[in-house]
Structure 1
Amino acid sequence: MSPASSCRAPAGAGLPLVTVSSYYGSDGYDSYGDRGEYGDHGGRRRVTSSRPRVNAGTLWAGGAATALVAALVGVVATLVVTGVFDIPVIAPANAEGAVDYIGAVWLAGFGVVGSFLATALAHLLMLVAPRPMAFLGWIVGLVTVVFVVWPFTIAVELEVQIASALVYIVMGIAIGSLVSGMATRAIEEY
């Protein structure tokens, strides 16, 4: 019996005509995108999941490569901003509202930590979220906005605020684009 065929109740049962296609659609897929297999009168159904698998090796290798790129972006950005333009880069210090002038090594470390956190978030979202890349993009984008706006909320020179914001936006774009690209490559359909 084909998925679009109708099933009739025994004569005189008073039950209405039921079509399998009313639930599954004419292509045999239900409203969740799952393909059903039908027995007599649609009574038995085997559903295979349309949820993709995550290739963790590919994802975390991409996360490690992203960490290296983010570290290098931090080093280059600090060398350009501090070495060429003689403007310090700032970061939050331990005390509330305090800032610290950081060097290339510290900014590279922040890039590595941010990359691994973004990779872990991508992995988690790919396992549980319905549209993981959309959520990842929003989360990484909003965290980047927080770091870009933060220098303008403290009392330092305008050039330090602008330079620090530019460094953070470049690092955020690098981390977000690379992690989301590698996460997309790590999806395996089955």
Structure 2
Amino acid sequence: MASPQSGWDRNYQDQPTRPYPPVQPQQGDRPSVDAGKLWAGGFGTAVVAALVALVGILLVRGVLGIHILSPDDAGTYGDATTTTYAFGAFGIAILATAAVHLLLLLMPRPMAFFNWIMLLVIAVGVLIPFTASAELESQIATAAINLVIGLCIMSLLNSVAAIATRAGRTQGDGML
């Protein structure tokens, strides 16, 4: 009778299709979050969100000729309100990054919760312009910009969170 072999060619009679038993995650194993990657990606998302706001306003005011966020005589860029709007988009992306970080650390299925939160925040951002007294085209344009900013933040942070999250390790697992 042949002696057992070591290494990859070893014959496992009790598990013919799997040379090693499956690793069972232990209770308490959670994915770990690389905070540096998460926050770097969150900062990048915030910059993109601010630029989306700026491009959206320039498109609506300059190309489409719809006056939003400032009086007609303010020009294509608008006034300080345009800058405030862009910084607001930046701030919302930073807050969304903080929410993702908190959800990743504390919640089961954190991205499902994040997506629901973001969809509801986007809905609020789309509906708010219709509560202000303004021309309908200005309301629609502002709602559209808010929608694009919100979807941008949500999609980018979903990607960033996936990259910044690593599966938890079981005890005795020597792999990184």
- The one-letter code matched in structure 1 to 2:157 is V
Distance of 1:103 and 1:81 partners within structure 2: 15
The 4+ residue runs of structure 1 with deviation greater than 6 A are none
* Gaps in structure 2 of 5+ consecutive residues: 1-20, 71-78, 170-176
TM-score norm. by structure 1 comes to 0.68
2:66 matched residue in structure 1: 87
After superposition, what is the alpha-carbon deviation per residue over 1:56-110, rounded to whole angstroms, capped at 9, x for unaligned?
Answer: 011001001101100110110010111222223349xxxxxxxxx8643122101
Shift of 1:183: 0.8
Distance of 1:139 and 1:146 partners within structure 2: 11
Where 1:71 maps in the other structure, the secondary structure is helix
Q: What percent identity do the matched residue pairs reach?
A: 44
* Gaps in structure 1 of 5+ consecutive residues: 1-26, 36-46, 92-100
Larger radius of gyration: 1
2:108 matched residue in structure 1: 130
2:53, 2:89 within 8 Å by CA — same for their partners in 1? yes
Greater RCO (Cα-Cα under 8 Å, separation 6 or more): 2
Distance of 1:119 and 1:176 partners within structure 2: 10
Q: 1:51 aligned to 22, 30, 41, which one?
A: 30
The RMSD of aligned alpha carbons is: 2.2
Where 2:65 maps in the other structure, the secondary structure is coil
Aligned length: 140
TM-score norm. by structure 2 comes to 0.73
Q: Which has more strand, going by share of residues? A: 1
1:103–1:154 distance in 2 versus 1, CA, 3 Å: closer
